[in-house]
Structure 1
Amino acid sequence: MTALVIGGGPAGMMAAEELARAGARVILAEAKPTLARKFLMAGKSGLNLTRDEPLAQFLTAYTPDWIRPHVAGFGPEAVMAFARSLGVDLFTGSTGRVFPVEMKASPMLRLWARRLADLGVETRTRWRWAGFDGDGFAFDTPEGAQVLSPAVTVLALGGASWPRLGSDAAWVPWLMAKGVTLAPFKPANMGLRVAWSPHMAPHLGQPVKGAALLTPDQTSRGEFVLSARGLEGGGIYAIAALVRDGAPLSLDLAPDLSVDDIAHRLGRTPARDSLPNRLRKALRLDPVKLALLQEWGRPLPTDPLALARKLKALPVRHLGPRPLSEAISSAGGICATALTGQLELKALPGVFAAGEMLDWEAPTGGYLLTGCLATGRVAGQAAARLFGAQSTD
């Protein structure tokens, strides 16, 4: 009897490990030539595994609520213990983010792939799932068409972002044809499109530091970048879902000062000075912030109190989110109502799902990866229990 895992990212690898530890013969099928390409890409600038923060606080980053119990079962402490079990040394940054000491994803991936091989997991790369063939799973492979009929299956095919790395959502029509309910995909952790005026050209590529992004329900103090296409970076991603769903966005260029503090400082500057010089002297606004004020704040009031209010709530004029194909992750996917509490597809008994295929989202900063690992573990353990029951029949 064979257990099949389709998708060789973190969720699929975790499910394969759980199945193998339970004694199953596991085939891990991956469409790309190598495992976990999105994981590797995400780790190029430093692999943020999770966050070292209290579990109750950590779970508030996840929506909808149904995903939280699954993450709670394999939260930050468990993720850190898992990484250390592979021989990966970790450190925690000043913001609570947890990274491998080597910072890169590739050493951890090599260690993990080696452990899966030692557990007997048979990895088959360039095996692209091509849908169902009766009760079997059809694949396009280097050796031609293949059909597998496993005892249990875990699907971990990713969502719909970064299709060039494998998450192309080609599986959607096959599951819908089987009666699986899916929510439409939407970009998550994405940038915002902005049509910049020509005067912004010298500032594109520059970071915006020491500012706050404001929505009615959330404030983000994270850094972000002005790109030729718009706004990118962690500060934007933290509030991207709210903005995507219609929340207005504004920018506080002096978040550590009150309106009255700003007005007082501006009032003490010489009236003969130009407005940019007054802002530099009074508030130490850098050229990037001054450019944003000119971009989104004109006409600028000369009254100190009115100008202070504009500095504290500068409307961000954007054209909506960047396309789904450019998003770091996606919202939408297999609905909670289509799943049992153990992530088994109600319409396909014996088939489980994990990772970004499921309808949940979380910001970057360790939350996404933890969620994928956690749901892969739940699906893998549930599949292992079913596999064990079938093996003893």
Structure 2
Amino acid sequence: MSEELKEGLDRRDFMIASIATVGASAVLAGNTGSAIAQDTAAGTAGGTVYTGDVIDGKKVVRTLDVNDLAPGQKHLLYFQGVQMPTGQHWHVSVTVARGANPGKRGVLTSGVHGDEMSSIHTVQTVMNQLDPAQMSGTVMAVTDVARPAIESMQRRWPNFGRGPDLVDTNRVWPGNENDITAPSRHAGLLFNRLLRPNADFAIDFHTGTTGFEVAAFNIAEMDIPEIKAMAELYPVGQIFDNPTYPNVLHNAFVAAGIPSFCPEIGAARHLDLEMISLFVEGTMNVLKHHGIVAGPMGRTGKDVSVFVGNSAFPILATAGGLVEHLVKLNDKVEAGQKVAIQRNSFGEVVAEYTSGVAGEITGQRSDAMSEPGNPLVFILFNKATQEGVETYPE
């Protein structure tokens, strides 16, 4: 890890404290989960551990070291995640392209939210373009991190341990294998045994949530040089220069000393092929930047107009009714500019919404109707002073 990245991480005290808290919880739970804790230590030290199971011709692992896999080949595996209420396991799909020659190890993740189809397709497309025989290094893809959420194509993990509950899997990282909730245990298993041990850098792909679409942008801490270098290799028009929440997956990587960022690819629940192509091109640029694949760079941020903002201004519905947007994604807006109106069932205008800042539209409600309190618009802008961790309505 470079000195620049170390300096960047030193500024993330709130994240380190968060990780320390998780570690303390694991110690307290140690007596009740000693078998899991011992297995984790043994698996990490001893390399790949196979369960002996085979699903659809693919071997199942509970711990993976990509260096144990044959070079110059693609490997399709399942990772054994947390148990279901039946005692069976949620198995996560893992594709490893191990190059013929040594080099950097990149990790690509998607499906942390279950309604984000374009993120999955982006990672699949990148992996399909890789030829391990021509690679120097390794790329590992995990495309369906939150399996139970993906099965119902919904954002959150349905957890029934203490009554019906929906858990945002991108608020529990790095997880805790001995925690009281299945999503946190699942995150802990993946992070400890699969993701962190095999990553020199990582990219966690997302989209907007159901009912809300976003522009093509990267969430990246631009004061960390190794992250900035990767984020600027994408031909997309916006960068959100903000750490966001401490317990999202890309921040768990950064807290562990692994440069990471988060691309956002349009709307949920469908494939935006035009936007996907931009992120495939950018991701291939990142792999070329790290020397994993050869060839000339594609388009980058230098080829488009990129707006960098450090905060997002939310506009929430104050009434119920049909939403009519007056601006589009990526449009520039001024403070006081009208951006949306809302009509009731009679067609009467019941609310008008204006921007409180000057910036660019980075997200809009895609569902045509809204009740009070729903986010209607997010505007990317630059805040003069940043204080603490910002939270955003969902």
Range into which the TM-score falls when normalised by the shorter chain:
under 0.3
In terms of fraction of residues, the more helix-rich structure is 1
More strand as a share of residues: 2
Higher-Rg structure is 1
TM-score with structure 1 setting the length: 0.27
Q: TM-score, normalised by structure 2?
A: 0.27
